[in-house]
Amino acid sequence: MGRLIEITLGIMTAVGGFVDISELVFAAQSGSRFGFALIWAFAFATIGIIVFGEMSGRVAAIAKQPVFNLMRQRLGLDLGLLTLLPAVAVNIITCAAEVGGMALVLQLLTGWPYKLLAILSTACLAAIVWALPFKWIERVFGLLGLLMLTFVAVAAAIHVPWREAAAGLIPQIPRGLSTQEIPSFAYFVVAIMSAVLFPYEVYFYSSGAIEEHWSAKDLMMNRLTTIVGFSLGSLLAISLLINAAVLFRPLHIDPQLPGTAALQAAIPFGETGLLLALFGMLFAISGAAIETCLSSAYSVSQFLGWEWGRYKRPHEAPRFTLAWLASFAVALAVVLTGIPPLELVEWAVVFSIIVLPLTYLPLLLIARDRKYMNEHVNGRLSNVLGWGFYTVLCAAAVAALPLYIVTSGGQL
């Protein structure tokens, strides 16, 4: 019974922790601009994160190796360093975007000044990470993030043409796009893949597995959490897209900020819906801010061989503690420069897809290596899916920057 509760909690945490500010922004914008035509991109990328998430959890449980240990072993010091530096930069930019997002949502709830709220949010997050054990951090934000299910309720309450929405699951380029808009559509496909497959997610997930001392007996939970939890989490993002297609597209609203996405809930459910949506967004974004910040500290500590882990007291892993405190400080400094959170989201999305191939290569190599994995080595399906997605990611990484430049960040 205890095991069942543990698995259910793990799945619910994965659902609540799936959406962050980049998915919020890109899901709502995709629906508003292209109707249902990008649902397939979310579904496709979700299969990718399931494959890589499951693999990273399995490697952590069996080989007891988090991603950055593997990177140094498999890629060597130079190439490993070439991955570490951009990965940390992307994590910090993403963390800054999340902190900015938190401040924006809190501003909608309190009316207080944005920069003051950014400072208060960062201080609160740092205090929470300092005081709470890993499992509590993961569970509290994951479970409170389930308030985002309000957006699924919105999709059920408004009149969605479900047959047309279901057709969005088929990969397509919508009819009627001009030659200028086709690169924009391609940019959105790449951005969605990047937002769903953000590298911090596997750094955090695999480090978390080691924090919680996973072993072979946890492999079933790993599989259920990644398959069921991530799929249901993806449903949240798809609901945001569907709601935007139905509610915003006819009004020509192109949502740029979390506040506009929250409007989706106010239309059918009034103020209660609005508040539930805002609190859901706040907890989901806060959880992502903590994950990105800890991911930076995990990456650096694992690569440099420092003591790391939230299961240790701060003074038992001083350099790791300093690393996550510094990550929060730098992210806050970026927010206080006044760069809009949306711009930070775009940078994070573009640069993370460039880092992704280097992140996943050592994982794929170890997961198929019987020396490390024994009988838990990749099966044929995992290998085919893993390498298939890896090829797609490499193509997306090459296309990301040119598409960003040509489309002015998808604005054309």
Partner 1 sequence: MRQTAAILFFPLIPWLWPGTLAAAESSDLVEMRTVRSLAAETAEVFRLQAERRVNAIYARTMTENAVDQLHDLDQSAGGEGAALHRAIAETVAALNHQDSAALRAIAQRLFIMAGPRGPAD
Looking from the CA of 362 toward its CB, the CA atoms found within 13 Å total 24
For residues 276 and 28, give the distance between their C-alpha atoms in angstroms, rounded to a whole number.
17
Residue among 10, 16, 17, 35 that touches partner 1 (CB under 8 A)? 35
Length of the chain measured in residues: 412
Q: Does 159 bind partner 1 (CB under 8 A)?
A: no
Distance from the Cα of residue 408 to its chain's centroid: 23
For residues 166 and 35, give the distance between their C-alpha atoms in angstroms, rounded to a whole number.
12
Q: Count Cβ atoms below 10 Å from residue 113 Cβ, excluding itself.
A: 11
Q: Which tokens sit at 219?
A: 């492999």
Q: Does 175 bind partner 1 (CB under 8 A)?
A: yes
Radius of gyration, alpha carbons of the chain = 20
Q: Which residues from 338-377 bind partner 1, rule CB under 8 A? A: none
Residue among 64, 256, 365, 394 that touches partner 1 (CB under 8 A)? 256
- Contact region for partner 1 (CB under 8 A) — 72-80, 103-111, 162-170, 236-244? 103-111
Residue among 16, 19, 26, 32 that touches partner 1 (CB under 8 A)? 32
Q: Does 263 bind partner 1 (CB under 8 A)?
A: yes
Q: Which tokens sit at 34?
A: 């292209």
Q: Does 267 bind partner 1 (CB under 8 A)?
A: yes
CB of 181 to partner 1, least distance (A): 7
Instruction: Rank residues 34 and 308 by Cβ distance to partner 1 and give the closer one.
Output: 34
Residue among 123, 124, 216, 405 that touches partner 1 (CB under 8 A)? 405
Looking up tokens 């080595």, which residue turns up? 377
Q: Does 266 bind partner 1 (CB under 8 A)?
A: yes
Q: Does 2 bind partner 1 (CB under 8 A)?
A: no
Q: Which tokens sit at 280?
A: 């859901």
Instruction: Rank residues 59 and 247 by Cβ distance to partner 1 and give the closer one.
Output: 247
DSSP letter for each residue of 56-121: HHHHHHHT---HHHHHHHHHHHHHHHHHHHHHHHHHHHHHHHHHHHHHHHHHHHH---HHHHHHHH
Chain residues binding partner 1 by CB under 8 A are: 32-35, 37, 107-111, 174-177, 180-181, 183-185, 249, 251-257, 259-260, 262-263, 266-267, 270-271, 274, 278, 398, 402, 405-408, 411-412
